[in-house]
Structure formats: C-alpha cells, structure tokens
Amino acid sequence: MVEFLKQPQREHKMDIRNISPSNMRVESIDIVRGLVMIVMALDHVRDFFHRDAFLDSPTNLATTTPVLFLTRWITHYCAPVFVFLSGISAYLAGQKKTKSELSTYLIKRGCWLILAELVIVSFGLSFDPAFSSFLLQVIWVIGWSMVALGLMVKAPTVVIVMVGLCIFLAHNMLDYLPAANENKSMAMDLFLRAQWSEYRIAGGKTIKVAYAILPWMSVMFLGYVCGKIFTANYSSAKRRKVLITIGAGMMVFFVLLRLLNSYGDPSPWQTQNNFLFTLFSFVSTTKYPPSLLYLCMTIGPALVVLGLIEGRTWFFGKLLLVYGKVPFFYYVLHFYLIHLLCVATFFINGGEHKEAFDTSAPLLIYGRPVHFGFDLWVVYLVWILVVAMLYYPCQWFGRYKKNHRQWWLSYV
C-alpha cells in the first residue's frame, strides 16, 4: 500500500499506454465480478423460492442445516467484492479522464445508481406500482459511494487511503458505545448502522435501510486505490504477487482477530455441539452493517483469487466474462426474471391475486407470500435456470457495448 502513495497526483489526462488491458477492461476483474454475480443470484432465488426464507434465518445455528447455511454464507462474498471491484473500475475509468472529468462522471453515475435503486430495482423487487416501500441495498450504497469518491478524487491518494482505512478499521468501535446503539435515528441507520430498520416517509411510504453508506464507502475507496495495481506500472507477475500478499494478509488478520473474539464483529463466535457448527459460528460474521471481520473474510480471498487468475484464461473464465462485463444490466435483469418466475409459479400452484401481496411478510413482494416456497433443491434448479436464461441477453448486450459508443452505455 505504501508503494501506491509514492506516485504523484496529476491533473492532466494520463497516457492510455499505462493501462495494461485493451479497451480499458481487465479480464481477471470481469471474471471475478461474473462469478460473484452468479453466486448472488443464488441468494436472491432463495429469497423468492425457499419455503423458509421469510420464516427463519439460514445462518441461525439452532435451526439451519449445513447445506442451507453454506448456501447463504457463500453469498456473503458478493456485495463486498462487487463494491470493491467498482472502486477498481472507477480508478481505471479515470485513466482516460482528467481528475475533474472523473469527478463529474462519478458524481453523475452515482446519482443515476441511487435513482435506479429507488425506481428500477425497487419495482423489480416488489412489482408494486404504488411503490409503497423502498429497500435500500447495494446499488444504493454504490451510488452514494461513487458520489463521495467523486468529491474525493482530486485529493492526494494518501487522503483517500487514510479516510478509507479509518472507516474500514474503526467503524466497529460503535459496538462499544451504548449511546450510538440506542440512537434510533434514520441518519444513524443510513450512514452507520443499517440493520433493516424501517421508517415511514412522505405519503405513507416506507423505507428499509439494509446497507449503511459509510462502511461500504470505505470498501470503494480502498478498491479505488488498489486500481493502481492494474496499470502498466505493475507487471503481471508483480500484480499477482501484490494481490496474493494483500489478500492472504487480510485472511490471516481475519483469523487472528476472530480468535481474540473481542473486536471487529458485534457477534462473538461460540463453541457449538460439534466442530462443523463451531466453524460455522466462527465464520458467521455480521453483514448488516458490514463488520471489519466480515469485510476481511470476504475481500481477502477475492484478492487472492484475482492474483491466481491474473494473466490466465480458461473456458469457465470465458463464460464468467459474459456476465462480468455487464454487471448493472445483469443485476437489474436477474431481479425481474427471478420475480417473474416466482409470480408464474405462485399462480400455477393455485395462488390468487388477492393473496399475492402478503402484508405480514418482511418485504412486500407481489406473488411471494410468507408461506410460499419449496425445498432447497428446487432453489438450486431455479438458480441454474436463471443463470442460463441470462447468458445470451448478457452476451448480446456485452457485444453491443463493445461496438457502440453512445454516452449512456457508460451508465449501464
């Protein structure tokens, strides 16, 4: 990290030759992004199709099964890696822009993502034309993080690093402040706490705050700084070494800090009835809001994987590229597809329109009552179907983006 900070800041446009990949894309980034998006779809299919999704937590060690726990746990990697890679992509996008141009672009794109979360994603999740409720999730925090990064990009890199690291390492200090935990204000939830708290806003509508802005913003800031690794200043071998070293260091840090069981996560691990469930308790870290240990547990292995696949392309990697090159397109489309399949299944199984909105559900989702759903093996079948159905649309849109230069394509 120190080596990054030694590089001077420049306002003029940077030489495109300093970018290692062609067309401003890095295959390893797109491959990892494609992998986490495919895994992400598993969690969302589970939300819509698993019979217990609205009744119990899959990480509740008192009631879960190993397969159900791992089905949920593996998807913990998605949001942190997605946000971190967004930070890297923001840095790479800035290689052909001045700092002023990058600042403007990030602020505009961030505002667009915030709007997209509130309108496009919210409707895909609920199918409620009245927009009775809004769920503030990952696109929301990516949008605000981009706005914040856009305001910060003109600052020296050391400032961005220090702000990111301070929030990343220290935000769990709130766990030791009773006053902060007792404060039920919307501002506290929006910026720091975000535990699916619900608030009523104008017109009788409600919002659920699932993602806190500041912890996730720190992830994007650190991802932005790590974007330096992907320029031509780093050879492929050096890039691999740096990524694996940082990633392995985060993994070791996670294990050591988790063993201490005193800081980094509000939920300490506990010895269970057997070794497997004790291990589950050890790795069951807090996502809402993301704890220090949660972020180290997820980002560390992702960096190692990025290093291991650096400069390597194989068949499965090419498949993942199809999804990873069009992340926002995939994200929006997969919600609509999963929800449409859920609604169709609901009516095929004898559901009626008057039952479609279940007000007792934790989320108001058309066609998804609390007691609707299937066994876990059905979830996996639907997940495979969803990923397969999205392959050709993503492939088409990826080719379209590559061969066209309309301004709006950089926002999708």
pLDDT tens-digit map of 36-51: 999 999 999 999 999 9
pLDDT (average), residues 95-100 = 91
Q: Lowest mean pLDDT: which of 205-219, 277-291, 347-361? A: 347-361
pLDDT (average), residues 140-144 = 97
The per-residue pLDDT for 21 is: 38
The per-residue pLDDT for 311 is: 79
pLDDT (average), residues 213-231 = 96
pLDDT (average), residues 350-375 = 90
pLDDT (average), residues 308-337 = 92
pLDDT (average), residues 223-227 = 96
Q: Kindly state the DSSP code that residue 118 receives in the 8-state scheme.
A: I
Question: Which whole-number Å values give the CA distances from 255 to 61, 91, 164, 251, 279, in the listed order?
Answer: 20, 30, 22, 6, 12
Strands (E), 245-326: none
How large a percentage of the chain has pLDDT more than 70?
93
Answer whether residue 17 shows pLDDT above 50. Answer: no
The per-residue pLDDT for 25 is: 72
Q: Kindly state the DSSP code that residue 411 receives in the 8-state scheme.
A: G
Answer whether residue 181 shows pLDDT above 80. Answer: no
Answer whether residue 24 shows pLDDT above 60. Answer: no
Tokens 């062609």, residue located: 22
CB atoms within 10 A of CB 395: 16
> Is the distance from CB of 386 to CB of 318 less than 8 angstroms?
no
The per-residue pLDDT for 182 is: 67
pLDDT (average), residues 11-36 = 63
The per-residue pLDDT for 10 is: 41
pLDDT (average), residues 42-71 = 96
pTM of this prediction?
0.91
The per-residue pLDDT for 16 is: 34
Question: Which whole-number Å values give the CA distances from 137 to 153, 337, 380, in the listed order?
Answer: 24, 18, 23
Tokens 């010895």, residue located: 271
Chain-centre distance of CA 176, in angstroms? 27
- In this predicted model, which residue has the larger pLDDT, 185 or 338? 338
Answer whether residue 301 shows pLDDT above 50. Answer: yes
Confidence of residue 411 (pLDDT cuts 50, 70, 90): confident
pLDDT (average), residues 272-288 = 96
Confidence of residue 180 (pLDDT cuts 50, 70, 90): low
pLDDT, mean over the chain: 90
Number of H helices, E strands in the chain: 17, 3
The per-residue pLDDT for 171 is: 92
> Is the distance from CB of 59 to CB of 277 less than 8 angstroms?
no
Strand 133-136 to 197-200 pairing: unpaired
Q: Kindly state the DSSP code that residue 65 receives in the 8-state scheme.
A: -
Chain-centre distance of CA 303, in angstroms? 15
Answer whether residue 150 shows pLDDT above 90. Answer: yes
- In this predicted model, which residue has the larger pLDDT, 56 or 20? 56
Residue from 395, 400, 368 nearest 48 by CA: 368
The per-residue pLDDT for 53 is: 94
Confidence of residue 178 (pLDDT cuts 50, 70, 90): confident
Specify the length of the chain in residues: 412
Q: Kindly state the DSSP code that residue 53 receives in the 8-state scheme.
A: T
The per-residue pLDDT for 179 is: 62
